[in-house]
Amino acid sequence: MASSIRVRAILNGDTTDVQTLIQHPMDTGLVKDAKGELIPAHYIQQLSFEHNGKAVFQADWGTAVSKDPYVKFAFKGAAKGDELKVSWADNKGATDSLTAKIQ
């Protein structure tokens, strides 16, 4: 199965700029389908980014985040070729992770 995560991490001077797109429905549990039945809640609860085993960004999410979330942030202390691990877990127990090289 292909990863639900797309990430780009580029070193600019001493700062690494990270852009991530995650494919996920992020259903709130408050929307009805075509038959008028509620679509069960299905959303990412935890998102984390690790550089050399150290957390550089963490988020605890709920139903207020839109479908296919986009995350952009920057951090210091990386070098070209270092690995950045992105992982998430949702409220139904599904998970995904991806390791990308910093360019």
Please check whether residue 33 lies inside any domain of the structure. no
Q: Report the 10 Å Cβ neighbour count for 83.
A: 14
Residue 40 DSSP code: P
pLDDT of residue 1: 54
Please check whether residue 66 lies inside any domain of the structure. yes
Per-residue pLDDT of the chain in tens (103 residues, 90 and over written 9): 578 999 999 999 999 999 999 999 999 999 999 999 999 999 999 999 999 999 999 999 999 999 999 999 999 999 999 999 999 999 999 999 999 999 9
- The residue range of the domain holding 52 is 5-28+38-101
Please check whether residue 15 lies inside any domain of the structure. yes
pLDDT of residue 83: 97
Q: Report the 10 Å Cβ neighbour count for 28.
A: 17
pTM attached to this predicted model: 0.92
Closest CA to 88 of 54, 51, 55, 58: 58
What is the rounded (10 degree) CA torsion for 90, 95, 21, 58? 70
Please check whether residue 13 lies inside any domain of the structure. yes
Please check whether residue 88 lies inside any domain of the structure. yes
Please check whether residue 71 lies inside any domain of the structure. yes
Please check whether residue 19 lies inside any domain of the structure. yes
Report the domain count for the chain: 1
> The domain spanning residue 59 has which CATH number?
2.60.40.10
Token pair in block for residue 7? 């990430």
Token pair in block for residue 93? 């127990």
